[in-house]
Amino acid sequence: MSALKEKLEADLSVAMKARDEVRTRTLRMALTAVKNEEVAGKQARRLSDDDVVKVLTREAKKRREAAQAFADAGRTEQAQAERDEHEVLDGYLPAQLSDVELTALVADAIAETGAEGPRAMGQVMKVVNPKVAGRAEGGRVAAEVKRQLTSA
């Protein structure tokens, strides 16, 4: 079992004992998502810490998007609940890359691949994604790659 999954389970137990509803609800949801990922596909498997981070990143993104949708609809209570859950999940994710760090990683990948023009975006993304690994959202990475390839 991954160390991160064990930490989630231990923290869930602590949150339940402390009667921390938001944390309990969020960790239960996160563990359910992890367990669903483990049994997805043809064969059950154990997730590595990297796989668990991917699941948590996906769940955090869902919370962020839901909070925005609720806020846009004027449903502030639900929006705040989603933001609270996102905050809990954020504590288990690696620190996000700053814009400067992301720009540098993308520039290095472009130099490494010798890519030119927007058509080479996929080529650059293949090199950048493993280096970013959960520290920046895919849309943010893609936007930076596109910006650098079109301005080159």
pTM: 0.74
Is residue 9's pLDDT more than 80? Answer: yes
Is residue 102's pLDDT more than 80? Answer: yes
Q: CATH number of the domain at 99-151, please?
A: 1.10.10.410
pLDDT for res 106: 87
Give 135-147 as a DSSP string. Answer: SS-HHHHHHHHHH
Domain ranges of the chain: 3-91, 99-151
Q: What percent of the chain has pLDDT over 70?
A: 99
Pick the most confident of 64-78, 91-105, 131-145: 64-78
Pair 67, 79: CB distance under 8 Å? yes
Q: What's the CA gap between 38 and 86, in Å, rounded?
A: 22
Domain made up of 3-91: CATH architecture: Orthogonal Bundle (1.10)
Segment 7-25 shows an average pLDDT of 93
Closest CA to 24 of 32, 15, 33: 15
Give the model confidence (pLDDT) of 103-139 as tens digits.
888 888 888 888 787 788 888 888 888 888 778 878 8
Give the model confidence (pLDDT) of 46-60 as tens digits.
888 888 888 898 898
Question: What residue type is assigned to position 59 of the chain?
Answer: E
